[in-house]
Structure 1
Amino acid sequence: MMTMLWRVSLIAALLLCYMLLSCASEHEKGERQEFQKPDKRADSHIKVKRNHTTANDKRPKTLTPRKKVKKTGRVSVGPRSDIGCTRLGGICQPNRFICQGRYLKDKCLGSKTRQCCVQVGAWSVLCTGHHNNRVRACDAYGCGAFNSERVNGLHKAVDVVCDDYGIISSPFSGSLAGPVSRQDPAGNQYDGVKLLSDVFCVKIFNIRPYRYLGPVAQGEALGYLLPLQDRFSGITSHLELQMCDGTDPSPFI
């Protein structure tokens, strides 16, 4: 009998513990769900703030006035050193000084009056069969020296005496840079070729070149002299040398 009562009491105690544990578990679960529920009032407060910010964003913002940039033309940049002059064997100095040779522009750093003085040697003979470059003297059609009087002004070139159809040689090493031509007041056309190097640039008129482009060595045949006697009877046959910058080629021939 006592054993039976002890068993009933034990079962009743176990059932009571089970009920207490179940109640505790349900209570904890309810608190967890309550904590996870979103706060509607807080959410609506956030939405109101967002709407307020969006409305404020629609207001026009203060614009910063743009500064007007003044456009300027291209600025020419000169040489950054004197290397362009020194590699030619020249020296950079103010062009008011005497140069025992030839001044070259755009080879020196600094002011435009600071130019490259190059000591240059004489050119070789242009006309085959001649011992030197002889300047055409005066004849019935004028004189061949630089700055000679002409009908249309001063003669800004030098006429070198040659024979009709004579071979013309390059006076210095350089490159041929294409055909050239000029016309006198009477309408006579004179054709030729341009020859240039790092130091010189010259136009040679009244010749028929073998070619108009490419490198040439000093003394190399350029072409032959076109005859003048057909148009100017009695004139001294010659070619015409004109520096590209209009200076006098006399010191070099």
Structure 2
Amino acid sequence: MNALRSWAHLLFMAVTVMPWALAALGLSLLWPPRRLYRFCVAWAGLQVWAARWMLGIRNEVIGWENLPTDPHAPAILLAKHQSTWETFALPVLMPRPLAFVFKRELLYIPFFGWALGRLEMIHIDRAKRTQAFQRVVEQGRALLARGVWVIMFPEGTRVPRGAKGQYKTGGARLAVATGVPVIPIAITSGRCWPRRALVKRPGTVVFSIGRPIPSAGRDPDELMREVETWIEGEMRRLDPEAYRGQEHADDRQPASAG
């Protein structure tokens, strides 16, 4: 039954993304960026709604009080990345527009990537690391000044449930360069929507939002280690089954630039 429902949801995404993306391309010529963002997030919200009724996947958010309440307060979100799910759900859940930092190859995905390219996002060429980081700082600073929160996945790619990728310091370096606090987020999406898995499972995805961590005057490596420690510790608290047998394993890796 889960396989049938998963296929149905995949078909629903494919059928809806084409007209929505084409409409976004046309509307991008007429609408300001903030309005176009809301239009595209409405499609993501539709997928979250469909996943609830077709796949039985629900969201639970812990730590709302840790998000800035000042509408002009900037923030950089650094989140665990286990699944595609958080890329749909986070823009729907967050109270402010988000600008994802992602590899430019995603822009080549038919329809979805085309619409993504019309939004105020930060796409980078990973082969040109120095230029990529300069782009992140320049665009990130401008977006943060306009009330857009920048979001990055420090591990760089989706990791299996119960695993930990290498935390790269790009997000911490951006925070230190702009003086903006970082907000760590632990996400248990791998329980319901495993990476590279067609079949999804019903359940609740927990988004745990940590307290803002000041970045002014901090060393990026030290800052990222603090983010990593909180996220990985929170992941073990939220999803202990995934980490069973790892209680005494020291699997920490030093953060690296990226």
Could you state the TM-score of these two structures normalised by the residue count of structure 1? 0.22
| Greater Rg over alpha carbons, structure | 1
Could you state the TM-score of these two structures normalised by the residue count of structure 2? 0.22
Greater RCO structure (CA 8 Å; 6+ sep): 2
| Structure richer in helix, relative to its length | 2
